[in-house]
Amino acid sequence: MRMALSLAARGLGNVWPNPAVGCVIEQEGRVLGRGWTQPGGRPHAERMALDQAGDAARGATAHVTLEPCAHHGKTPPCADALKAAGVARVNIAIGDPDPRVAGRGIAGLRAAGIAVATGIMAEEAHRQQRGFLTRVLLGRPMVTLKLASSLDGRIATAGGESQWITGPEARRRVHALRLSHDAVLVGGGTARDDDPLLTVRGLGEVAQPVRVVASALLDLPPEGALAASARQVPLWLCHGPRADKARIKAFTDRGAVCVAVPETGGRLELAGLMRALGARGLTRVFCEGGGQFAGSLLRAGLVDELHGFGAGIAIGAEGRPALGELGLERLSDAPRFRLRRLEQVGGDVHATWERPDG
């Protein structure tokens, strides 16, 4: 199962709306087939592993990170494929909550006389598939927030200088994190001030994540670099009901997709924004600021995982803070995360935090 989980990780960020699943066909410790969900979500992991194993799958054990599917989608059900291949045993990490599957995969295998065990490395699988699970169960993608800051939590000097706070190793790590997500999301302020490309760079030829900008008024220049690349890398602009129609058209003409999202109190309703992204199939969204937008996400309780990059530099109170106001009255109301991993990356610190109730 450990091997199946590490195969599954290859699919993270490039299989949405599907889950990234891994499958290993094994007999007496010999690996006969390895599979993982392929780019775009198909073929499924089991199909790939079974094709590799061929006739040797008869009597073998399949280790799968998610309950095999039971529905006739664009491909026949994996549970049927496992039966047809004659596997004797299927070890499953976690069940598939997709209503088309939801226990039917396991029941079908058992009805065919196959020995099924569940809950193997379930915690790891749950964490890995959090994006898919969140989309199916809550109707929104999993939200990861990145904060890269100085020792004193600043992301730029008062003048806005921010390029070299963390080092090249940390920046490379951020690009790898972008790549393991379906989309990269920033607030309108960042898109306007920095006109960032939001693409993955320095990691070879890769399938780029969707770029998403949240801007209530869509007050960004359609002539910028971001929009200029919309035909090469998908660009979704989430705007509110007051956004200028001509501006929407100018962006759409350049190849961007404009997504209408409800507003509350003159700002985009972030839960509604996330539901819109979930409805479009996104399972894992990586948010990269700015501070106002990151603060709003935290306030709305929408951050599932947080990556903090800390540099050994002090900027002072006049610098720009990593987070906007949270409007807290008591410390007990503060969003709190649980530390999952702590690493040194070049000269910086990379801390991975997760919400404690996840």
The least distance separating ligand AOF from the CB of residue 107, rounded to whole angstroms, comes to 14
Binding residues for Zn ion, rule: CB under 5 A, are: 44, 69, 78
Residue whose C-alpha is closest to residue 282's, from 307, 257, 306: 257
Catalytic residue among 46, 67, 263, 354: 46
* 302 sits near ligand AOF (criterion: CB under 6 A): no
**Binding-residue total with ligand AOF (CB under 6 A):** 19
Distance of CA 272 to the CA centre of its chain: 18
Residue nearest to ligand AOF (CB): 73
290 is in an annotated binding site: yes
**β-sheet bridge partners, residue 154:** 321
Q: Which does 18 bind (CB under 5 to 8 A by kind): ligand AOF, Zn ion, none?
A: ligand AOF
Among 24, 45, 143, 214, binds ligand AOF (CB under 6 A): 45
Cβ atoms of 326 and 310 closer than 8 Å: no
Residues found in the chain: 358
Check residue 33 for interaction with ligand AOF (CB under 6 A). Answer: no
Would you say 206 and 213 are in contact if contact means Cβ atoms under 8 Å apart? Answer: no
Please tell me the distance from the alpha carbon of residue 161 to that of residue 167, in angstroms, as a whole number: 15
Question: Per CB under 6 A, which region of 42-50, 274-282, 300-308, 331-339 contacts ligand AOF?
Answer: 42-50
Among 69, 235, 285, 345, binds ligand AOF (CB under 6 A): 69
Closer Cβ to Zn ion, 50 or 212, answer by number:
50
Instruction: Note whether 299 and 134 are within 8 A (CB).
Output: no
Name the 3-class secondary structure at 281: coil
Binders of ligand AOF among residues 82 to 121 (CB under 6 A) are: 96, 98, 101
In whole angstroms, give the CA distance from residue 2 to residue 121.
8
CA distance 160 to 334: 27
Instruction: Clarify whether 329 is annotated catalytic.
Output: no
Q: Which of 4, 12, 21, 214 binds ligand AOF (CB under 6 A)?
A: 21
According to DSSP, the β-strands at 320-321 and 154-156 are antiparallel
State both tokens at 8: 């599954």
Omega prior to 43 cis, within 30 of 0: yes
Residue 278 partner contact from Zn ion, ligand AOF, none using kind-dependent CB cut-offs of 5 to 8 Å: none
CA–CA gap between residue 66 and residue 22 (Å, rounded): 8
Judged by CB under 6 A, does residue 46 bind ligand AOF?
yes
What is the rounded CA–CA span in Å between residue 238 and residue 154? 27
The separation between CA 210 and the C-alpha centre of its own chain, rounded to angstroms, equals 11
Among 44, 154, 320, 350, binds ligand AOF (CB under 6 A): 44
By CB under 6 A, the residues from 199 to 228 that bind ligand AOF are none
Query: Which option in ligand AOF, Zn ion, none does residue 355 bind, with CB closer than 5 to 8 A by kind?
Result: none
Q: Which is nearer to Zn ion, 46 or 288 (CB)?
A: 46
- Shorter beta-carbon distance to ligand AOF: residue 70 or 268: 70
- What residues act catalytically? 46
Binding site for ligand AOF (CB under 6 A): 18-19, 21, 37, 41-42, 44-46, 66, 68-69, 73-75, 78, 96, 98, 101
